[in-house]
Amino acid sequence: MNNLVIGQFIPGKAWLYRVDPRTKILVTVVYVFLLIFANTWPAYALATLFLALTLVLTGQSLGLYWRGIKPVMWLIIFTVCLQLFFTGGTPVLFHWQFLKITLPGLINALYVVLRFVLIVLMSTALTLTTPPTAIASAIESLLKPLKAIKVPVAELALMLSIALRFVPLLMLETDKVMKAQKSRGMSLSTGSLIKRSKAVLPLLIPLFIGALQRALDLANAMEVRGFESADNRTRYRVLSFSKQDLVAALGTGLFVLLFIGLLWIN
């Protein structure tokens, strides 16, 4: 649980911390959207260069981002195996019974690895440099046009803010429950797969009960304080664009033009 970096905020004073959260969210969305269409090595090289510059501007060590990749490594490996062994085409590089590795499958597997890593690292850079409350406020600001069609934007932003605040609490609670169970002699890393799967159940039940109790306490606290609607709330910190946002927008625009150009050439 200590290796889970994405979703956490680490205070800092680097350049990216001074960028408006709305700008960072839009840049992240554009970056992820473009990666969906990346199908050439030059395009991935450009995306990697843009990400490297972004990570440098966060002022955090690269080891911290490696910790963020480790928890999703098994998901990456599983997806890579699906692409590697079940993608048809020619030439065939390896064939054993029903398993077959082709050149297109190998290329797709490498693309999947790069896509996963780049998306996770970019999302991690967003959450590391932006407080959860700022992310919720930014999303509410970006979704304001939806109020015209009666979408409860303020309530959605409030739910997102509460969910983001619960992430570190659930991580801490999970760590406490695991240590408590280990102190009672329970092993989560030994035995057969079935035995280890059964050992997870004593972890899930206390976590579920604890999360439900926290939600009930929060609901009661909001009701006692007279909370009715999120539309009439005032903001202690008002979001505003600055010259850093202009630089970020120009840099992202240049990246988008170069990226589309590489795809067009291909």
Domain for residue 156, yes or no? Answer: no
pTM of the model: 0.79
Return the ∠ at Cα 149 (arms to 145 and 152), rounded to 5°: 80
CA gap 229, 171 in Å, rounded: 29
According to the model, what pLDDT value does residue 53 have? Answer: 95
Domain for residue 29, yes or no? Answer: yes
Domain for residue 218, yes or no? Answer: no
According to the model, what pLDDT value does residue 51 have? Answer: 95
Domain for residue 230, yes or no? Answer: no
What is the residue range of 119's domain?
A: 1-130+237-266
Domain for residue 155, yes or no? Answer: no
According to the model, what pLDDT value does residue 232 have? Answer: 63
Q: At what angle do helices 21-36 and 41-58 cross, to 10 degrees?
A: 160
Domain for residue 167, yes or no? Answer: no
Q: Considering its fold, how many domains does the chain have in total?
A: 1
Q: Nearest CA to 129 among 12, 29, 247, 234?
A: 12
Under a CB-based contact definition with an 8 Å cutoff, are residues 141 and 22 in contact? yes
Q: Would you give per-residue pLDDT tens digits along the chain (266 residues)?
A: 455 666 678 888 899 999 999 999 999 999 999 998 888 889 999 999 999 999 999 998 888 888 778 777 888 888 888 877 777 777 777 777 767 778 788 888 888 889 989 998 998 899 899 988 888 888 888 888 888 888 888 788 778 777 777 777 777 788 888 888 778 777 766 666 677 677 777 778 888 888 888 889 988 988 887 776 655 666 667 788 899 999 999 999 999 999 999 988 86
According to the model, what pLDDT value does residue 190 have? Answer: 67
CA gap 157, 230 in Å, rounded: 9
